[in-house]
A and B are shown apart, each in its own frame.
Chain A
C-alpha cells in the first residue's frame, strides 16, 4: 500500500513542481521575445555579460540557499526563492510572524506560520507592484519626490533596528561576538557596504554558529 504523504512531504512535492515550472517560464521570457521579434541574443554581449555576472551570483545563491532554507522552512523557501527580496522582506516577515505566534521555526506550527506570512507578503508585494506599474505616470513624481528619498534610502536600518532589538535582547550571549565582528569588519573594510551586505550574511551565520557551539560545549548557553 502506498504510504500517505505528510504535509511537509506534500509541500516539498508541490514546491519542486512550482519552482521548476516558474523557472521554465522565466527562461521562456527572453526566448519568446526573441521569437516574436525574430531576433536572437548578441552572443558576444551575452557571453561577456554572463561571465561578468553569473559566477558571483551563482556562488552567492548556493550559499544563500544553504543559509536561508533552515530559517525559512519548506513552504517559505520555495516561495521566497521564487519571489526574491529574502533578507530585506521575506525573512523579517517570517521572523516577526514566528515571534508573534510564539512558535519555533523548526516545529510544524512554525512551518505553517512562516509559509502563511511569506505567502501573504508575496501576494501584497506582487499586487502593489502591479498597482505601481498601472499607475506609473502619476506615481513617479510622488515616489521620486526628493523629500521622500531619505525615507526609502534608510529602509534597511529602520527594519533591522526594530527586528534587531527584539532578537538581540532575547539572545544577548549569542549576539555579542558576531555583533563585534561585523561592526569591526564593516567599519574597517571599505568594500563592505550596501552592495556586499548580502554576501556577509552567510559569514555572519557561520561565525555565530561556531561561537555558539563552542559556548554550548563549555556550558555557557
Chain B
C-alpha cells in the first residue's frame, strides 16, 4: 500500500482509538450519573452541571481544532486528530514533532511529503513521550486519593484548606503567566498588556455575574457565568489587540 500522511487507513486507525476514548467518557458519565442518583442528588441539578460543562467546553474545543489544523500541515490530519483527542495539547505535540523531525534533518512547518518511516518515527516519539500520565494514574491514583481521604478524617479543617490551596496554587501560576510580558512596556512594547486587559475584562464580567446572581437570585446566571465570561473575555481580545499592537 502506498503511504500518504492522509491515507484512509490512518483515519480508520485514529478513528478506532478516538471511538474507544469516547466510549470511556460515556462509560464514566453513566456510572457517575447513576451514583449521583443513588446519593439522592437532584436530576435537574445534574443536567444543569452537564449543560454548563458542555457550553463552557465549546470555545476551548474550537481552539483545539485550530491546533489540529496547525499540525496537519506537516503531519496530515489523522495523527494530529488522534494526538489532540487523546492526551495531547498543542505545545507538547509541536515540541515532540519538532524534536523528532529535527533528529531526522527535517524542519517543523516546512515538511512536504513525509515518508512512512519518518511518519512512524514521529508518531512513536509523540506517543511514547506522553504516556506516563496514562499509566501512572492507575499505579498511584488510588494511593494519592486515599491519602486525601485520610487527611480529611484526621483534620477536616486542614483538609479543606489543603484542597483550596491546591486550586489557588494552580490558579496563581496561570495569573503569573498572564503578567509575564508586562515588563516589555518599559521598552515601548505594549502587547504584554493584552493578556492582562483580557484577564481583567473576564474577571469583571464574572464579578458582575456574581452581583447579578446575588441581586436577582436567578440560578441560570451562575450556570452560564463562566462560559459568558470566557467568551466576552476572548471577544474583548480582538479590539484590545488592535489597540495595543
User: Judging by beta carbons under 8 Å apart, are A33 and B198 in contact?
Assistant: no
Question: In the assembled complex, which residues on chain B have CB atoms less than 8 Å from the CB atom of A216?
Answer: 157-158, 161
CB-contact partner of B238 in A73, A147, A197, under 8 A = A147
Q: Confirm or deny: B120 has a beta carbon within 8 angstroms of a beta carbon on chain A.
A: yes
Shortest distance from the beta carbon of B228 to any chain A beta carbon, whole Å: 8
Which of B17, B29, B82 meets A116, CB within 8 Å?
B29
Binary contact track B95-109/A, C-beta < 8 Å → 1, others 0: 110011111100000
Q: How far is the CA of A75 from the CA of B158 in the complex (A)?
A: 24
Q: How many Å lie between the Cα of A143 and that of B154 in the bound state?
A: 51
A162 touches B202 (CB 8 A): yes
- Secondary structure type dominating chain A contacts: helix
Residue count of chain A within 8 Å CB distance of chain B = 158
A97 engages B53 (CB within 8 Å): yes
- Whether A193 pairs with B165 at a CB distance below 8 angstroms is no
Task: Judge whether A100 and B163 touch: CB under 8 Å.
Answer: no
CB–CB B14/A136 < 8 A: no
- Out of B35, B123, B128, B223, name the residue touching A112 (CB < 8 Å): B35
Inter-subunit contact A69/B122 (CB<8 Å): no
SS of B interface (majority)? helix
Contact A174 B195 (CB under 8 A): no
Chain A proximity of B108: nearest CB distance (Å): 12
User: Which residues 9-39 in B have Cβ within 8 Å of A in the complex?
Assistant: 9-10, 13-14, 16-18, 20-22, 24-29, 31-33, 35-36, 39
- What is the bound-complex CA distance between A62 and B117, given in angstroms? 30
Chain B residues, CB < 8 A from A159: 60, 202, 230, 233
The verdict on B144 contacting chain A, using a C-beta distance below 8 Å, is yes
User: From residue B223, how far is it (CB to closest CB) to chain A in Å?
Assistant: 7
B residues in contact with A12, CB < 8 Å:
138, 141-142
User: Are A155 and B116 interface neighbours, CB within 8 A?
Assistant: no
User: Can you list the 10 inter-chain pairs with the closest CB atoms, starting with the nearest?
Assistant: A158-B233, A182-B176, A161-B202, A132-B65, A205-B169, A162-B229, A49-B100, A61-B132, A48-B103, A208-B169
Question: Assuming A153-B237, A171-B168, what are 13 further A-B pairs, CB within 8 angstroms?
Answer: A19-B135, A37-B1, A45-B104, A117-B50, A133-B81, A143-B69, A150-B238, A158-B234, A161-B203, A161-B206, A164-B174, A205-B166, A209-B162
